[in-house]
Chain A
Amino acid sequence: MDTASLLMTAPELILTGAGLILMLIAAYAGDGSARLVSVLAVAALAVAGVSLTGIAGHGGDAFDGLYVADAFATFGKVLIYVSAAVAIIIAPRFFAAGRAIRAEYPVLILFATVGMGLMVSARDMLTVYIGLELNSLAAYVLASFMRQDSRSAEAGLKYFVLGALASGILLYGMSLLYGFTGSTSFAGIATAMGDGLSKGELFGLVFVLTGLAFKISAVPFHMWTPDVYEGAPTPVTAFFASAPKVAAMGVTVRIAMEAMGSALHSWQQIVIFVALASIIFGAVAAIGQTNIKRLLAYSSINNVGFALIGLAAGTAEGVASVMSYLAIYVVMTIGSFLCVLQMRDVNGQPVEEIASLSGLSQSRKGLAAAMAIFMFSLAGIPPLMGFWAKFLVFDAAVAAGLTGLAAFGIAASVIGAFYYLKIIKTMYFDAPADAYAPAGSRIESALIAVCAVIIVIGYLLNPLLDTASAAAAAALQ
């Protein structure tokens, strides 16, 4: 084993080491140490993020090509670490209200983050699978973290059963690919696919994409999403909607481009179908929802569809647009869920009904404004960042000759705009409902403000984002 490989995996080593130490602290000091463990976990994420500036950010292949440290992985990891840190920061206050605060929460998030880091850095099917399982297993536990709450337990069980099924499908596809290409590495699969795609390889490709479509919750493998997002505790839902989406999307893009690049015409039609189905279903099914977390779950399905349009283009430009989309999506989603966390009645109990937002603009002006910004952005109204994200993917699709797909996507985004605007209408034009409890946490308010500011003045950051996502796309071979 060489030292360079170990240095390139520094973020994962740091997070694993921190997770083990924090686990010991949690075990000996009990749940009273939850706050301390949370602070240390966020610090570990920051250290891991800093380590990405060194060789771990651009070192190339490690461990004989099992793992790669490149700009693409770094881009994904930064998004993942930020989402994980937010999920840890917002948790203590939420769980304290239900007296369900546990010191294991940050530890599980850290281990899930290690798994997601492996996913975006994978250049071998084995690494993909190990990373995915590490992430999923921690996620199943997190979904049912409030085990006294029957909805949370149901969410965990549903997620576990369906997730295990998807893992099985994915593994089946991987074993087919291994059998018919003789290699688990992306480079080896690409070599074997280069001289024509055999039926066996095509089967493997379809199964692998199916398994991954489940993990990014794209239609028609989205059934678990609304139930799990609704049942899981809100900080966990915020986590699910951001970091694992980035990781699974990253691994999908890398497999499609690096391992199956020569089979573009075979997976392009699958991705186009999944993208359109996700956009339309995500938009239409969200209209009738009354629960804000369920609505955001459909919104995430809808957004995954838009991101997949960039992948369908199959070009470096398309990949760059997917990465930009993910970055902007993470900010919008985290912002929205932070607003959902603010929805508590006067007794401090969480409220999830959309109707309870009525007249929010009079009782909580700042919160209503922030929520309106996120909803406008998710709907893709210029000049907010959400518009720019959609513009990039449609631009890439048109450049790749998929004008019809882009036109269809734009038309469907109008359906989506309906329910986002409905929330704004509820907040600003409906008769006031019972007021929420006042904002209790400066940190949460500050995070909301930061997200809202990024969304509003984000176009100033566009050159930076474009450079980063172009570098990420260029790193794919």
Chain B
Amino acid sequence: MIHVFAFYLFACIMIAAGALTIFARNPVHSVLWLIVAFFNAAGLMVLLGAEFIAMLLVIVYVGAVAVLFLFVVMMLDIDFAELRAGFVDYLPFGVLIALVLLAEILLGVGIWQAGPIELAQRAAPAPTDAHNIEAIGALLYTRYIFLFEAAGIILLVAMIGAIVLTHRARAGVRGQNIDSQNRRRPQDAVVNVNQPVGQGVEL
């Protein structure tokens, strides 16, 4: 019962949030609605028993992609009134193209026979006695460890590349020199001056 209730709750909120993403006038609101939609999609994944994908949705889509979106939307100064100008003029032509595309999609789907999806050949059938996070982890760190490590090297190359392309040695910058900073003693750096009144300081 609670399962069914949770499904309809997540599904309805997700569809509503999706619609509001499109219809919100303010682009920042759009992105926020998108985040709501992602969260509810994650909820649906949990109901399906795919908790790993649910976590990925939250971490990757909400944590990284949506925040990046928000960043970009806030930085760009988009004039939506200007974008909407001429909307009515182009409407008939747009509708015509939409109809053509729709007809093509219907035709394509109608005659589409993709063939069976094979499940017998899977390298690792889903285990029944383990959570799927555990199962994915066990597979990733045993059978696919070689590729997992190689993917790590890709990230390293990306990091090296970013530094090579953007790092510049600027002149006149005071970098840290931890060793000499630690070796410095108060008597090297601080001077006690008995300063007479009315005269300039000599440093």
Contact A66 B117 (CB under 8 A): no
- Please state if A104 and B164 are interface contacts (CB–CB under 8 Å): yes
Interface segment among B1-9, B45-53, B120-128: the answer is: B120-128
Q: Which B residues touch A62, using CB under 8 A?
A: 146
Q: Is the CB of A141 within 8 A of B165?
A: yes
Closest chain-A Cβ to B156's Cβ sits at a distance in Å of 8
Give the tally of cross-chain contacts (CB within 8 A): 101
Name the A residues within 8 Å of B133 (CB-CB): none
Q: What's the Cα separation between A72 and B156 when bound, in Å?
A: 29
List chain A residues, Cβ under 8 A from B153. Answer: 16, 111, 114, 134
Given contacts A182-B118, A198-B115, contact A1 B145 (CB under 8 A): yes
Q: Which residues on A sit within 8 Å (CB–CB) of B165?
A: 141, 144, 147, 156
Q: Which residues of A contact B163 (CB under 8 A)?
A: 104
State whether A127 touches B147 (Cβ < 8 A): yes
Task: Give every chain B residue within 8 A of A185 (Cβ-Cβ).
Answer: 123
**Please, what's the 1-or-0 string for A110-141, where 1 marks a CB less than 8 Å from any CB in chain B?**
01001000100000001100110110011011
B199 within 8 A of A: no
B146 touches A9 (CB 8 A): yes
> Which residue on chain A has the smallest CB distance to residue B142?
A1
Counting contact residues on chain B (CB < 8 A from A), the size range is: 20 to 34
On whether A134 and B114 interact (CB within 8 A), knowing A1-B142, A181-B121, the answer reads no
- Are B146 and A145 neighbours in the complex by a CB distance under 8 Å? no
Q: Are A66 and B114 in contact (CB under 8 A)?
A: no
> Which residue from chain B places its CB closest to the CB of A105 in the assembled complex?
B164
Q: Tell yes or no: A180 within 8 A of B by CB.
A: yes
Residues on B with beta carbons closer than 8 Å to the beta carbon of A137: 154, 157-158, 161
Determine if B119 and A182 form an interchain contact, defined as CB atoms under 8 angstroms apart. yes
Interface residues in B87-131 by Cβ distance below 8 A to A read 112-123
User: What separation, in Å, do the CA atoms of A130 and B155 have in the docked complex?
Assistant: 11
Show 6 residue pairs from A and B whose CB-CB distance is below 8 angstroms, ordered by the A residue: A1-B142, A102-B164, A108-B160, A130-B151, A141-B160, A192-B118
Q: What 10 pairs between A and B have smallest CB-CB spacing?
A: A198-B115, A182-B118, A141-B161, A182-B121, A200-B114, A183-B121, A63-B146, A200-B115, A130-B150, A188-B121
Interface residues of B (CB under 8 A from A): 112-123, 142-147, 150-151, 153-154, 156-158, 160-161, 163-165
